[in-house]
Amino acid sequence: MPEYIKQVAITGDISTIGTDDDLIRAWCSEVAKEIYEQKCEFAVVHVQGLHSAENPDYAARVICGCITDNPEIYRAFDSSIAFFDTKLTGLGNLYLFKDHSEVQYYDRFSSTGYINLRSGHQHSIGNKECDGFIQNTFGQSYTFRRDFYNDDGSRDLANQRTGFLLARFRIHGKEVTFVNLNLHSVPFEDVNEIATKNASITKAAAKREDQIEMLLKELDEEGLRNDAILVAGSFNSQLHETDLLNYLAKTQMVQTVAKKDEDGNVESIEHVDRHGRRTTTVERTRFDLHSIHDWFFRLGRGQMVKRYNGELANIAFKGNLKEETCFFQPSRHYELNEKGKEEFQRTLCPAWSDRIMYNDRMNDLFRHDSFCASGLYYGLVAEEKFVGPHKPVTLHASICLK
């Protein structure tokens, strides 16, 4: 038995490219490349946003097929198991294994608990449930919608597909639980929250934190908290935009102008310099730093704004989940400009919304060695290529088997 095995975990949200077949295939190509170039023993792929596709089952089949049928992937892995839940959560979990004989998956309804993984590919797409997977929607029931916008452009907060999909495995004798999740996805309910300088946490951020607590409670009730746990998904965490705007106003020495509607509610915030030029504009569907927008969020791979990336700090400080430092630029929100060059959108504030976290038990299994190739790596997939507004995020790690 080897002392270490290499794992690659990737999470990506396809909700903004669900109707673009070419982009989905480009996304899959980059994900497959990230996996086979690492020559890992097993790989984890978590997908969110399947319900945004015109035909979710078709999108799931394309994603599953494009990855597992890739010639490099096909040669590297003898088995895979997947459940793409297009009926309830809109989440898809795909797991690839180099040697199926060293893997068992857990089924809570089985009398034997763990079941040996068979050679070949076992993919369940479009079914209401699948053996070995646990679904949860944080107690919400849903009607089918592909987005959370009304016809007039306003956000429909009642129809957001949130939840998680988890699977448990025994890999080389180590019990590991993988959780795919999609948390509350509205960055802010209204501009008034940003305008309130003493707002330490937005209502949306508070809801996301509550959902994480519900996930941790479910793991307890399933008796999984003693497993090594990896949570990879759309945390949808946002920068603390109030503090960011205050920083910009102070450093640029500009005047802050808040425009109100007829009911007295703030509908936009602008920074205006001494020459009357707008340097920042924030509205319901706009977050624009004008001339410095793309440069500012890319500078030092986003390190200029990383200080405002603290939404998940409470989860980490409580000791529930850990995370490697984000030494990469924000995973959202990208677009192609008129010259075909990728840049950050000006509709929402860029953020590290796609994250991979893990518990203490998983951390104990990781080989922490920054001076060798088998150490931890945390970064973006397709960093130099446009694969949609959301870039996948990956974690490479070597797991100790001793």
Tokens (6 digits) for 182: 């999609």
> Whole-angstrom Cα distance, residue 180 to residue 92?
8
Domain boundaries, the chain: 4-185+227-236+294-400
> Whole-angstrom Cα distance, residue 176 to residue 339?
46
User: Rg of the Cα trace of the chain?
Assistant: 21
Matching residue, tokens 């673009």? 20
Judging by DSSP bridges, how do beta strands 174-182 and 228-234 pair with one another? parallel
> Whole-angstrom Cα distance, residue 17 to residue 161?
16
Judging by DSSP bridges, how do beta strands 393-400 and 377-380 pair with one another? antiparallel
Cα 167 from chain centre: 17
CATH of domain 4-185+227-236+294-400: 3.60.10.10
H or E segment and range at residue 23: helix 21-37
* pTM of the complete model: 0.93
Going residue by residue through the chain, which has 402 residues, state the pLDDT in tens, using 9 for 90 and above. 778 899 999 999 999 998 899 999 999 999 999 999 999 999 999 999 998 888 999 999 999 999 999 999 999 999 999 999 999 999 999 999 999 999 999 988 777 789 999 999 999 998 988 988 999 999 876 554 445 445 554 445 445 689 999 999 999 999 999 999 999 987 766 677 777 655 567 888 889 999 999 999 999 998 887 899 999 999 999 999 889 999 999 999 999 998 888 888 888 999 999 999 999 999 988 999 999 999 999 998 898 899 999 898 877 767 789 999 999 999 999 999 999 999 999 999 999 999 999 999 999 999 876 555 557 899 999 999 999 999 999 999 999 887
